């Protein structure tokens, strides 16, 4: 699985290579309640086929009609084939017409995909876990790619638009297996770079990195955490049920800048784990309070897939709470 926005770009490239004309649309600004955030992507093919979403369905039909009319040459509004701004919801009446919630409004950049030469390099660098900034100059349609940093966000000044692609967050899973694979698949769709550390070779075959954009980290888990140097964009989750592997990794993670640290296990197991970490390794009450365990939101989850949903949901809850606090 992959990030939905990268999937949109992959579809756009495939359509263009097949001889179809394509228009890319990016959310650049929102006001009020908007269903899709800045950076959300939509690709529209000349026959009306779409990939992605910029409004959750509110304005897509109008955008399809606009795009098809432009491709057919049925517009005479000065359309030059260059990127242009489209604004929805300027008035309450227009917001109501398009079904934008709570009077919200959207500013979009629409660009015909005339030169797709930047797409393959961007997709390749993202697949290799790189962060890529794409800068579009609206006056010329020129696209430039550059390296991005993990906390870089969308920038739009009316003349240039810079968007960031690739894994903006990191997740280190301690332990391979079915549950790890489920967590990895969901996290990858949410723009997490997923790393898995499990020194037990008998579990290596279950890692199966071909089914999700994940990487195996060699060595012992505590060494992996230390080498990763977790920051405010990093989560660490221990899933082995083996104190020899989980405890040492958690020891390092709880003393790091990771925004989320979790461990699989019952309330009884968590209490025993905290006692070990306190008595034998000297972790403070404040450090131990950062440990989420039993890991995940209390959803009544039973299957590996359900437990994975609970784990990632709690991670997202903490990630977004941190973003709001910073803002």
Which of residues 165, 191, 211 is at a domain's end?
A: 165
Record the pTM: 0.73
Residue 205 DSSP symbol: G
Residue 10 shares a structural domain with residue 156: yes
Q: From residue 123, give the alpha-carbon distance in Å to each of 1, 7, 18, 98, 118.
A: 14, 9, 18, 33, 9
Among all chains, which residue has been given the structure tokens 């297996």? Answer: 177
Which of residues 132, 165, 198 is at a domain's end?
A: 165
Position 97 pLDDT exceeds 80: no
- With contact defined as beta carbons under 8 Å apart, do 254 and 261 qualify? yes
With cut-offs at 50, 70 and 90, classify the pLDDT of residue 284.
very high
Spatial distance between the Cα atoms of 304 and 151, rounded to a whole number of angstroms: 31
Residue 155 shares a structural domain with residue 297: no
Residue 135 shares a structural domain with residue 195: no
With cut-offs at 50, 70 and 90, classify the pLDDT of residue 69.
confident
Residue 179 shares a structural domain with residue 272: yes
Chain centroid offset of residue 282 CA: 35
Residue 110 shares a structural domain with residue 158: yes
Position 297 pLDDT exceeds 70: yes
Higher pLDDT, 314 or 167: 314
With cut-offs at 50, 70 and 90, classify the pLDDT of residue 50.
very high
Residue 213 shares a structural domain with residue 278: yes
Residue 136 shares a structural domain with residue 241: no
Spatial distance between the Cα atoms of 47 and 50, rounded to a whole number of angstroms: 9
Could you tell me the two tokens for 248? 């040492």
Residue 103 shares a structural domain with residue 243: no
* CA angle, residues 234, 235, 238, in degrees to nearest 5: 145
Helix, strand, coil percentages in the chain from 3-state DSSP, rounded to 5: 40, 25, 35
Residue 57 shares a structural domain with residue 71: yes
Q: How many CB atoms lie within 10 A of CB 64?
A: 18
Residues with Cβ within 8 Å of residue 91, at least 6 apart in sequence: none
- With contact defined as beta carbons under 8 Å apart, do 163 and 133 qualify? yes
The sheet with strand 169-174 has its strands ordered as: 214-217, 192-197, 169-174, 234-238, 260-263, 291-292
Q: Tell me the CATH number at 281.
A: 3.40.50.720
Which of residues 120, 136, 165 is at a domain's end?
A: 165
With cut-offs at 50, 70 and 90, classify the pLDDT of residue 79.
low
Spatial distance between the Cα atoms of 176 and 20, rounded to a whole number of angstroms: 42
Residue 24 shares a structural domain with residue 160: yes
Indicate the pairing of strand 105-112 with strand 160-165. unpaired
What domain range includes position 94?
4-165
Percent of the chain's residues with pLDDT above 90:
60
Compute the average pLDDT of residues 222-228. Answer: 95
| Per-residue pLDDT, 183 | 95
Query: What is the number of domains present in the chain?
Result: 2
Residue 201 shares a structural domain with residue 124: no
Residue 264 shares a structural domain with residue 161: no
């Amino acid at each position: 699985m992959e990030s939905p926005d990268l999937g949109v770009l992959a579809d756009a490239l495939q359509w263009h290579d097949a001889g179809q004309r394509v228009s890319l649309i990016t959310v650049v600004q929102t006001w009020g309640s908007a269903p899709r955030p800045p950076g959300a992507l939509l690709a529209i093919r000349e026959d009306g086929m779409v990939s992605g979403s910029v409004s959750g369905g509110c304005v897509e039909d109008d955008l399809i009609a606009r795009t098809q009319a432009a491709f057919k040459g049925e517009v005479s509004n000065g359309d030059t084939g260059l990127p242009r701004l489209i604004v929805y919801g300027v008035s309450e009446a227009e917001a109501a017409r398009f079904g934008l919630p709570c009077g919200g409004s959207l500013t979009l950049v629409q660009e015909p995909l005339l030169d797709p030469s930047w797409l393959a390099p961007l997709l390749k660098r993202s697949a290799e876990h790189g962060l890529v900034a794409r800068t579009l100059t609206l006056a010329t349609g020129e696209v430039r790619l550059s390296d991005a940093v993990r906390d870089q966000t969308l920038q739009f000044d009316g003349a240039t638009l810079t968007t960031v692609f690739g894994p903006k967050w990191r997740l280190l899973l301690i332990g391979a297996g079915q549950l790890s694979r489920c967590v990895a698949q969901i996290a990858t769709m949410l723009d997490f770079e997923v790393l898995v550390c499990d020194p037990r070779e008998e579990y290596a075959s279950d890692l199966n990195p071909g089914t999700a954009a994940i990487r195996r980290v060699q060595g012992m888990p505590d060494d992996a955490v230390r080498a990763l140097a977790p920051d405010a964009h990093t989560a660490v989750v221990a899933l082995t049920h083996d104190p020899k592997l989980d405890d040492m990794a958690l020891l390092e993670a709880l003393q790091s800048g990771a925004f989320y640290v979790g461990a699989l296990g019952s309330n009884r197991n968590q209490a025993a784990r905290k006692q070990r970490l306190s008595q034998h390794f000297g972790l403070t009450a404040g450090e131990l309070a950062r440990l989420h365990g039993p890991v995940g939101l209390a959803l009544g989850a039973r299957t590996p897939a359900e437990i994975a949903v609970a784990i990632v949901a709690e991670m997202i809850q903490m990630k977004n709470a941190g973003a709001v606090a910073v803002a």
